[in-house]
């Protein structure tokens, strides 16, 4: 096949859901249990996950399905709420400002959808104690016989009057996030306001997406947010799910039918045959990467984020296009590993510098010393070795979190684990490597309990930390097990 830019995007998808057509997105979208949990008819659902885990894609598909079912989903973007929850030192007044502002925005969007937008009606939306669902129902009953509605608007208003339900999606709240005290207070007030509104208005359901670092800072800075913890749904993936996601994209690109349940039950060793339509079956590298199945390379280099896989495959496909190759080959992946690694470390710096401003010094400080490079693997540490490494780094740099707290070596270790720079690592009985991420077990990094895991710098970062000796990576880096 020809790997031009258009083909690459149709095959592997866009890096962000906003750029993807809803038709193609729904065609290849892989529904996990997370989707059902977020779309459940509950007053509040907060979807939390790292960048690139598919939060916006989930919302985009969910909104489309709600519309097809005749329901009323409302999407609120950062531009809609840019002026809300600012410039008020009183926290309770901030919450009230959010509540009034949200009711006005939601009401106006609903009336616009119904074709019933009226200045007189919308001016009443900010009245004290307004019950939004009841007010909209009464307004529809009064106005619908006097206004000419399209067939679609009639169906929408009739469905609303039957179900009396509005689903509000709030996405992309981390846009412009800097981790300042003001940012934290603003998001905290928003979450409190949403919780109040959903409790006060039966049928008003909120779905909010938050980046994991944003949620972490808000959750640890404001004790009132303990009341929303039960509404949190973590957006996390297994490697098997991500491999199935890739295969579904390939199969749907070629017009094949897909049974997700069958794919999920199929061992990765057998799933690999689907990849052979677009890439070589084995990676003809060297050392521990010599003649291993290509899917093992892919699964070892991603941080359990679908966007990583899209980036990795797309970069390699661009290389295949440059050599007029009908398949993505070993040499194409080898040509882009350093670029891929640089991109992942820059992503990490951009994503978490709001929490630890000098994160770049910490990440590059994790480069192995000459003595460590001569060891079996300079990127693997016992807990004691990791703490010693971090204490050595701290001798040259003061690490202070955004909240003003000086970071201890233990706290830096937990931070590196939380941001997926470090993974917990254990050799299983088969001799293969088991890697665990923060989302899978947040307690492994506890300083009080030894779970029997070592620590390893994630393979995605190796090329940028050791650009002077690439071959050493292939000789020493063990691949993940299925």
Tell me: the pLDDT tens digits for 226-237? 888 889 999 999
Residue 423 lies in a domain: yes
In a domain, 15, yes or no: no
Q: What confidence tens digit (pLDDT) does each residue in 126-172 have?
A: 775 678 888 888 888 877 777 777 888 888 888 888 989 999 999 98
Domain-ending residue, one of 186, 204, 234: 234
The two tokens of residue 442 are: 């947040």
Rounded to whole angstroms, how far apart are CA atoms 482 and 472? Answer: 24
pLDDT for residue 441:
64
Number of domains making up the chain: 2
What pLDDT, on the 0 to 100 scale, is given for residue 217? 82
| Res. 448 pLDDT band, cuts 50 70 90 | very low
The mean predicted confidence, pLDDT, of the chain is: 87
Assign 398 a pLDDT band (cuts: 50, 70, 90).
Answer: very high
Long-range interactions of 319-328: CB distance < 8 A, separation 24+? 320/3, 321/2, 321/3, 321/4, 321/8, 325/3, 326/1, 326/2, 327/278, 327/279, 327/280, 328/3, 328/278, 328/279, 328/280
- Each residue's pLDDT tens digit, 178-213: 778 888 889 999 999 999 999 989 999 999 999 988
Average pLDDT over residues 46-63: 94
pLDDT tens for 300-331 read: 999 999 999 999 999 999 999 999 999 999 99
Give the rounded distance of the alpha carbon of 394 from its chain centre: 30
What integer is the mean pLDDT of 281-288?
Answer: 84
pTM value is: 0.89
What DSSP character marks residue 432? P
Which candidate, 126, 207, 112, 209, places its Cα nearest to that of 168? 207
Same domain, 228 and 362: no
Last residue of a domain, one of 203, 234, 265: 234
Flag whether pLDDT at 443 surpasses 60: no
- pLDDT bin (cut points 50, 70, 90) of residue 472 is low
Cβ-based neighbours of 300, under 8 Å, separated by 6 or more: 459, 477, 479, 480
User: Residue 317 domain-assigned?
Assistant: no
pLDDT at position 302, please?
A: 94
**Spatial separation of the C-alpha atoms in residues 97 and 84, rounded to whole Å:** 7
In a domain, 309, yes or no: no
CATH code of 85's domain: 3.40.50
Do 368 and 223 reside in the same domain of the chain? no
Does residue 336 belong to any structural domain of this protein?
no
pLDDT in tens, 61-99: 999 999 998 888 999 998 889 888 777 678 889 999 999
Domain boundary among 172, 200, 234: 234
Q: Specify if 435 maps to a domain.
A: yes
Residue 177 lies in a domain: yes
Q: How many Å from the N-terminal Cα to the C-terminal Cα in the chain?
A: 28
Q: 287 pLDDT exceeds 90?
A: no
Residue 74 lies in a domain: yes
Q: Domain containing 84: what range?
A: 33-234
Structure tokens at 420: 């997926």
Contact 268, 256 (CB under 8 A): no
Same domain, residue pair 226 and 359: no
């Amino acid at each position: 096949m020809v790997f031009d830019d258009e083909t690459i995007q149709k095959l592997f998808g866009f890096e962000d859901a906003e750029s993807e057509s809803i038709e193609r997105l729904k065609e290849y979208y892989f529904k996990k249990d997370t989707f059902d949990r977020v779309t459940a008819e509950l007053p509040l659902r907060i979807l939390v996950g790292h960048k690139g885990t598919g939060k916006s894609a989930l919302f985009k598909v969910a909104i489309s399905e709600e519309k097809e079912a005749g329901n009323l989903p409302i999407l609120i973007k950062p531009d809609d709420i840019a002026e809300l929850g600012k410039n008020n030192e009183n926290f309770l007044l901030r919450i009230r400002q959010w509540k009034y502002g949200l009711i006005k925005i939601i009401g106006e969007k609903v009336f616009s959808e119904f074709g019933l937008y009226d200045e007189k009606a919308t001016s009443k939306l900010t009245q004290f104690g307004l019950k939004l669902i009841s007010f909209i129902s009464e307004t529809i009953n009064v106005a619908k016989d006097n206004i000419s509605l399209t067939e679609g608007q009639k169906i929408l208003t009739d469905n609303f009057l039957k179900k009396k339900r509005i689903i509000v999606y709030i996405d992309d709240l981390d846009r412009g996030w800097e981790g300042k005290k003001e940012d934290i207070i603003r998001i905290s007030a928003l979450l409190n306001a949403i919780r109040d509104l959903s409790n006060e208005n039966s049928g008003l359901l909120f779905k909010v997406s938050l980046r994991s670092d944003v949620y972490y800072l808000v959750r640890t800075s404001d004790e009132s947010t303990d009341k929303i913890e039960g509404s949190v749904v973590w957006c996390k993936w297994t490697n098997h799910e991500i491999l199935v996601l890739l295969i579904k994209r390939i199969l749907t690109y070629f017009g094949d039918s897909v049974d997700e349940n069958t794919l999920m039950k199929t061992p990765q060793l057998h799933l690999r045959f689907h990849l052979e339509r677009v890439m070589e079956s084995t990676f003809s590298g060297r050392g521990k990467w010599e003649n291993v199945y290509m899917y093992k390379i892919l699964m070892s280099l991603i941080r359990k984020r679908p966007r990583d896989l899209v980036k990795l495959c797309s970069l390699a496909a661009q290389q295949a296009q440059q050599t007029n190759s009908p398949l993505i080959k070993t040499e194409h992946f080898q040509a882009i590993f350093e670029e891929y690694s640089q991109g992942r470390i820059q992503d990490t710096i951009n994503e978490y510098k709001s929490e630890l401003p000098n994160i770049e010094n910490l990440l590059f400080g994790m480069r192995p010393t000459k003595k460590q490079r001569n060891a079996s693997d300079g990127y693997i540490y016992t807990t004691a070795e990791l703490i010693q490494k971090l204490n050595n780094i701290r001798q040259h740099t003061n690490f202070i979190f955004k909240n003003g707290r000086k970071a201890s070596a233990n706290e830096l270790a937990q931070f590196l684990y939380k941001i997926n720079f470090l993974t917990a690592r254990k050799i299983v009985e088969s001799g293969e490597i088991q890697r665990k991420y923060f989302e899978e077990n947040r307690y492994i990094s506890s300083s009080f309990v030894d779970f029997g895991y070592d620590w390893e710098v994630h393979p995605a970062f190796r090329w940028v930390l050791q650009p002077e000796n690439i071959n050493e990576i292939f000789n020493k880096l063990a691949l993940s097990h299925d």
